[in-house]
Amino acid sequence: MKRSFRLAAMSVVPFVLLAVLTQTSMAAPPIRVGNGTPGSCTGVALQDALTTAAVRGGGKVRFDCGGGAVTIAPNISVDVSGVGPVLLILPDNTTIDGDGLITLACGGHGGLIFVQPGATVELRNLLVANCFDDSSVIFNAGTLTFRDSTLHDAGSILAPTLSNDGTFIIRDSVLANNTTLFAAFIASRGVLTIEKSRISDTHVDGTFLSNSGTLTVSKSAITNGFAEFGDIGIRNGKIVALEAENARLRALAVTSSLRSDVLPDIPTIGEFVADYEASSTYGVGAPKNTPAAIVDKLNMEINAALGDARMRARLVDMGGTALPSAPAEFARLIVDETEKWAKVVKFAGMKPE
């Protein structure tokens, strides 16, 4: 028995060494963008490199642009079903490393980056900037790690700047001076982790972060400028951990007049401060002289849609509550809100700029 054991042990050693040597020899070289000059690092060159990565089954994309800072702005977009036009589609098992010298910008219409379902991608040492469109700058449907990188001077209108349907990890990164209009800055329906990162000066006229998935924020600084009309908004979903740089955060109250459907255990501020209410309301209007019959028909159909279970569930996912009403009620709400906020503006001494 002793001799058999020794022979078996000796036979394993060369097999392990062979496996290690084989793996080392098969390591693929990086996929290069550029030939040593800034002018060679173009959007087309980057898209060609991503095509090569897709054919190879992945790989590391590096840049040979002459050793200086370079901006690459792809301008050829591809329509992706359910997403819209996208400038860069990142293949599975791919890492793009900018070595702190590469800025990715938008040179054409559409979102900048799309990670496909099932794909695992890492963006490292990159600056993403100068993108503003009606599509998300980054749309992740796979697994994306945004590491040691910066998103700056970017944004979107009518779409979240960052959309996540998969697993999105933001680590050791900075998101600063970005703008989102008529949408959340970040909309996550999957797993979102923000770790050791800083998010600041985010200008958004709605919700900063709409989360209907799983959210973890740790050892990160989230500061100033989140909303033009309101406070930091983190709505919905399962919050695993929410930790700012110097303190743990917990929800104290909601600002609407009624408790939120998605946070039923959180009281309203109005339960402590009489008549307090501050919320955003969205409705549908028609030109002044629209016949009453048409207004009534539209009202009936819109209320029917708001009563649909799937529609209500979708609104809840976005942090909203359906409020079916009659035209006269909605008109009264507009008058009341105008009078209320006019008093606030006057009291605060605000002036038009």
The pLDDT score that the predictor gives to residue 2 is 39
Question: Which distant-in-sequence residues (6+ apart) come within 8 Å of 319 by Cβ?
Answer: 207, 210, 233, 235, 236, 260, 262
Separation of alpha carbons 102 and 97, rounded Å:
9
Q: Which residue has the tokens 């680590």?
A: 171
The torsion angles phi and psi of 232, rounded to 5 degrees, stand at -60, 130
Structure-token pair, residue 293: 């019959």
pLDDT mean by block of 10 residues, the chain; 353 residues = 36 38 56 94 95 94 94 91 91 96 90 95 96 92 97 91 96 93 87 90 77 82 52 46 47 79 80 85 89 94 91 72 89 90 86 75
Strand-strand pairing, 167-171 and 186-188:
unpaired
The pLDDT score that the predictor gives to residue 250 is 61
Nearest to 136 by CA among 111, 116, 108: 111
**Helix 327-348 / helix 292-306 crossing angle, nearest 10 deg:** 80
Supply angle C-alpha 49, 140, 225, rounded to 5.
Answer: 115
Question: What DSSP letter does each residue of 60-77 carry, written as one string?
Answer: EEEE-SSSS-EEE-----
Helix (H, G, I), strand (E, B) or coil at 174: strand
Domain ranges in the chain are 27-244, 281-348
Separation of alpha carbons 212 and 190, rounded Å:
7
DSSP state of 34: S
Determine if residue 196 is left, alpha or beta; phi over 0 gives left, psi from -120 to 50 gives alpha, anything else beta: left
CB 167 within 8 A of CB 188: no
The pLDDT score that the predictor gives to residue 53 is 94
Separation of alpha carbons 291 and 274, rounded Å:
40
At residue 188, what is the residue type?
Answer: S
Q: Which residue has the tokens 């985010």?
A: 202
Strand-strand pairing, 84-90 and 78-80:
antiparallel
Show the beta-strand stretches assigned E in 73-178. 78-80, 84-90, 94-104, 111-115, 120-133, 138-140, 143-147, 150-157, 162-164, 167-171, 174-176
CB 73 within 8 A of CB 107: yes
At residue 236, what is the residue type?
Answer: N
Sign of CA pseudo-dihedral 337, 251, 212, 176: positive
The pLDDT score that the predictor gives to residue 353 is 67
The pLDDT score that the predictor gives to residue 124 is 96
